[in-house]
Structure 1
């Protein structure tokens, strides 16, 4: 008799132990790695072979270098063709693998971004979990936008770098140097464009509020320009300014979202719920010293009235006590006593 598999009980609150968290993290990492691996295989094939009417990935990446004037790049074929230099036997294979891996990360971004969001959502409210599709879409769009900006920035920035000292030397770039430079620029721009989305996520979970950053814009802008100056691989002013200005615009848009979201949250949530225990209970007054309280005065208690018993009745119904008869001078009649 086959054993029936027990179903795991539903957990509506989303609470899990540490072991369950680690198991879920392992599962989501495996799914993400599988998606990236499939995307890498597609990118590896796309590097040299492409469908009709679509440029191969190698030609797309080589585009900024080939757009340089012929007098700024070395001619290794003798026919004026645009070719990069390879200095080791495995260099071309490794370059193709690196480019395929980058393409795999970009192509699989909807999958691993969804896994990241699902790992975070148990800590969010039910109405905030509805943003899964919006989060993934914005993350992919922002990364692709950053990569495209890096591609066009390289087209202009490479000309500035190669034209310096062109009267003395001619640039003969190897494939490893050029592709490493391009891949680093694309990754830096793509990841930097995700910063506004991280700000929005922190605001949704209640970690970051608009009041925390509204008076710190100048310092944030300075930090962004320092980050752009350090992270851009070419160290040219064109790519640095382009990256810094783009991040500033996106961060400001994220701050405006935080401002609107905080205002809406404050309208739906009473102000007293955001106070701590001491503020909510009000000011605590110091206790009065002992002996200052009002004294208790004792009032005299009146004696209770005597209880008078009811007169007993005879069997015949006559009372045992009668009114005194008039006869003797004392006013008392002893006839009943005898």
Structure 2
């Protein structure tokens, strides 16, 4: 390794270190802020459970639960900062026409994740009622506060990640892995996959109406992503795909 490569590697490590420090510091500060309001956050997380009382099994549970709630809230509140730091770190590896998507991409990722959190929170009450009803009259459900909070947080994170689907599709289209034409051809299979996912996320006595509530926003996000892919897919690949799928090309191929 020559001096130039060694210097470049050191610069990359220094940049990674500085961006990690900024991200960790931001999470530390937002966690401290969230701890001050941990009672209010805990109330919001507990509200969907209704009259179910959460149990504590250790003298330290009160502190540990508030600390975990504050940590989750800190990571959540600091998301714009650490996502921005991550994108700025990978920015030098991007092409000039790709760098212009860094800031809009960060805003879109945060916005979609927050939208998924809000949607998941609105669905949480109904889903918990269905899950609690499965215990029947023969069992009493006495959840620990730690288990309940973990379940709620993981569910909200899952819905937030699910709402990142447009970003994933646009990234795949940008690198030429998928095309708008291919996505349109696979639409019925993708719809079916969304329906199966909705059935797994929202268990209910009615296997149609409740999953439809989950499916509708997911399908809308998918269709928006398909529409936007035509603006990010490489032009040469788009032209080849259009030519290959045109009726004249198909007719010529069949004549041969």
When the two structures are aligned, how many residues end up with a matched partner?
231
- Unaligned stretches of 5+ in structure 1? 1-15, 49-55, 74-82, 272-338
Residue 252 of structure 1 pairs with residue 223 of structure 2:
yes
Instruction: Give the structure 1 partner of residue 111 of structure 2.
Output: 141
After superposition, give the CA deviation of every residue in 1:207-232 in whole Å (9 maximum; x if it has no partner): 543244332223333444455556x4
Check the 8 A contact 1:154/1:239 in 2, yes or no: no
* Larger relative contact order (CA 8 Å, sep ≥ 6): 2
Q: What is the CA–CA distance in structure 2 between the aligned matches of 1:113 and 1:84, rounded to whole Å?
A: 34
Distance 1:127 1:165, change over 3 A: closer
CA contact (8 A) 2:127 2:203 kept: no
Name 1:192's counterpart in structure 2.
Answer: 162
Within 5 Å, give how 1:4-15 maps onto structure 2.
Answer: none
Paired residue for 1:155? Answer: 125
Instruction: Using the TM superposition, give the Cα deviation of residue 22 of structure 1 relative to its aligned residue in structure 2, in angstroms.
Output: 4.1
Matched, 1:42 2:12: no
Alignment of 1:73-88 (within 5 A): 73=52, 83-88=53-58
Pick which of 210-219 and 39-48 moved more. Answer: 210-219
Give the number of the structure whose residues are more often helix, by fraction: 2
Q: Find the structure with the greater CA-based Rg.
A: 1
Q: Distance in 2 between matches of 1:229 and 1:23?
A: 47
Q: Which residue of 2 aligns with 1:8?
A: none
CA change 1:248–1:30 in 2 (3 A) is farther
- Normalised by the length of structure 1, the TM-score is 0.59
Residues 112-261 of structure 1 mapped to structure 2, 5 A cutoff: 112-227=82-197, 232=201, 242-261=213-232
Is residue 2:24 matched to residue 1:33?
Answer: yes
Residue 221 to residue 116, structure 1, CA distance change in 2 (3 Å): farther
Q: Does 1:57 align with 2:28?
A: no
Mapped to 2, the partners of 1:198 and 1:252 lie a distance apart of 13
Structure 2 gap segments, 5+ residues each: 1-6, 241-256
Tell me the CA shift for residue 190 of structure 1. 0.9
Q: Tell me, yes or no, if the aligned pair for 1:157 and 1:239 is still in contact at 8 Å.
A: no
Q: TM-score, normalised by structure 2?
A: 0.75
- Mapped partners of 1:270, 1:229: distance in 2: 38
Question: 1:124–1:205: 8 Å Cα contact kept in structure 2?
Answer: no
The question of whether the paired residues in 2 share the 8 Å contact of 1:189 and 1:243 is answered with no
Secondary structure in 2 matching 1:189: helix
Partner of 2:252: none
Q: Kindly report the root-mean-square deviation, in angstroms, between the aligned alpha carbons of the 2 structures.
A: 3.1
